[in-house]
Structure 1
Amino acid sequence: MSRLERITASTRAGWHSFLRRRTAVFFTFFFPAILVVIFGVLVGTQPTDGGLFSEPAGWYVAGYIGVVVLFTPLSRVGSEVARHREGSQFEKLATTPLRRWEWLLAQTLVNTVVIGLATLLLVGLLFAGTSLSVPLSAELLLVVPFIVVGVALFCAIGAILGSLVDSRDGVVAASNGLALPLLFLSETFVPAEMLPEWLPLELSPLTYFSRGVRTVTHEQVPAGGAIFDWWPPTSPVLNLAVLSVLALVTFVVAAVLLPQTD
């Protein structure tokens, strides 16, 4: 069996495994829906009143997408690794030609499809239930690689947590403990102006996702600038490049840490 066939078979198995868990399917798509209903419809935005949610509705699109890209891969892949460890599945995988990085790549591909569908649902609900208006431009296509790279990055981080934490409950707790601070300290729902100046936002990988996606969905490239400019820090290409490097390095680390036996 060739490498491509191994990855394809593992991806197919991962996809069917996801579909068999109806509770997981429900909450994967229910989560974006309830997110939009609570923050987009019930809370809404108040551009003139100051405080939280004081920016225009379009400013928060990057945050909404970032929530799905952050939480779902962390919890799903982390739990999947922990489940494989508890069931000694990695020992069985070690007797097959499938390598650990191929298994992780297959899990990443499954999550990319799942989160892509969840993102489409989320954006559709935003258009239907809020006053969201996104200017149509070729720059919007960059949202796709941002989502793909972001999913790969947080899948890898989830795999690292699953490899290091000794139980599925521990993985869920560790995932939430990591995701919640990142969510509010990465320019997702809280502008940098409202955070302390000494706070190193650049240490959070979600910051690069938020800045890049926000530029192409709301702020747009400044007048006189070009989509492939490497500066200023809001440049979509600069942020995508940084995110890609982080994803590659983290993926390699995660593949090395995946256990062969337990």
Structure 2
Amino acid sequence: MSTKTLPARTHRSATRRLVSAELRLLLRDPLTLTFVLVFPILTMLIIGGSFGTEPDEAFPVNPSHWYVASYFTVVIGATGLVMLPVHIASYRERGVLKRFAASGFPRWSFALAQLVIGLSAIAVSGALLMAVAAPVYGVPTIEDPVRVGLGIVAGSVAFVSLGVLLGTVLPSARAAQAIGLLLFFPSFLLGVGGPPPAVMSSTLRSVADVLPLKLVTDSVREPWLGIGDGAGALIVVTLIAVGATALAARRTAL
């Protein structure tokens, strides 16, 4: 057997063990799971039924469908701005990252494990959100599945990478939670789950238009509901994803 094969297999096995351990630890964190799984669903159920079902001057489509399509990106934002930063910052506090490095894990394994965890959380939470929305408001027909898929993937990678980056630069889990929530709620209210842009002031719309979570939402919601192609937002989100991934990979090298 080639001597090069053994290290490769060892690295793959070590990475699988790290991913498996990380997933088990995530399932034991009720606060994080509650926020990522429950918060988007509860707020969607409340806001989604507040504006009726008929399009008007504020909503170009059924308002309930507007919020169902929008709230998938709330899951992305909650994962990247709250779940992952707190999770990783708590590791740094307890010296877990140093123990990973001393245990001989490949340098890239932690970043890969966090990517898998973040994307898994988004997939599960997003599917649960749609399952709850279906009997209540109905899931709107996806007008352009390819563009919607690209928006979800690019947005998920961008926010998972941002979450990893925040977790590696913030000094503690409490700081990560405070900063994460401070970043999340304005983005949530202005860019996704709050009032529609048509009723906002021009100042608030200008602020909302540059928020990364609003860009992710536009790249998903517009092609989903057939109210635009979301191309401009998708390009910016993709650039954010590339830059954030590169920075996060450098920060998490063990």
Decide: shared fold, TM above 0.5: yes
Amino acid at match of 1:70: G
In structure 1, the partner of 2:140 is 134
Post-superposition offset of 1:56: 2.3
Q: Please give the alpha-carbon distance, in whole angstroms, between the structure 1 residues aligned to 2:149 and 2:232.
A: 16
2:130 corresponds to 1:123: yes
Distance 1:109 1:145, change over 3 A: farther
- The equivalences for 1:78-89 within 5 A come to 78-89=85-96
Q: Please give the alpha-carbon distance, in whole angstroms, between the structure 1 residues aligned to 2:118 and 2:28.
A: 15
2:109 corresponds to 1:102: yes
- Are 2:85 and 2:163, in contact at CA under 8 Å, matched by a contact in 1? yes
RMSD of aligned residue pairs (Cα, Å):
3.0
Whose helix proportion is higher, 1 or 2? 2
- Are 2:47 and 2:67, in contact at CA under 8 Å, matched by a contact in 1? no
In structure 2, the partner of 1:247 is 241
SS at match of 2:202: coil
Distance 1:123 1:133, change over 3 A: closer
Q: Please give the alpha-carbon distance, in whole angstroms, between the structure 2 residues aligned to 1:82 and 1:44.
A: 39
In structure 2, the partner of 1:40 is 48
Cα distance per residue 1:31-50 (max 9 Å; x no partner):
23322332234x35364787
2:26 corresponds to 1:18: yes
TM-score by length of 2: 0.80
Deviates more, 1:199-208 or 1:50-59: 50-59
Gaps of 5+ in 1: 221-233
- Are 2:89 and 2:173, in contact at CA under 8 Å, matched by a contact in 1? yes
Distance 1:144 1:5, change over 3 A: farther
TM-score by length of 1: 0.78
- The equivalences for 1:225-244 within 5 A come to 234-244=228-238
Cα distance per residue 1:23-67 (max 9 Å; x no partner):
5445543223322332234x3536478779996222223321121
Gaps of 5+ in 2: 1-6
- Are 2:66 and 2:221, in contact at CA under 8 Å, matched by a contact in 1? yes
Q: Please give the alpha-carbon distance, in whole angstroms, between the structure 2 residues aligned to 1:241 and 1:49.
A: 30
Paired positions, count:
244
Amino acid at match of 1:8: R
Poorly superposed stretches of 4+, deviation over 6 Å: 48-54
Post-superposition offset of 1:156: 2.0
Post-superposition offset of 1:126: 1.4
Q: Please give the alpha-carbon distance, in whole angstroms, between the structure 2 residues aligned to 1:82 and 1:133.
A: 36
- Are 1:163 and 1:259, in contact at CA under 8 Å, matched by a contact in 2? no
In structure 2, the partner of 1:172 is 177
Amino acid at match of 1:243: V
Distance 1:164 1:51, change over 3 A: same
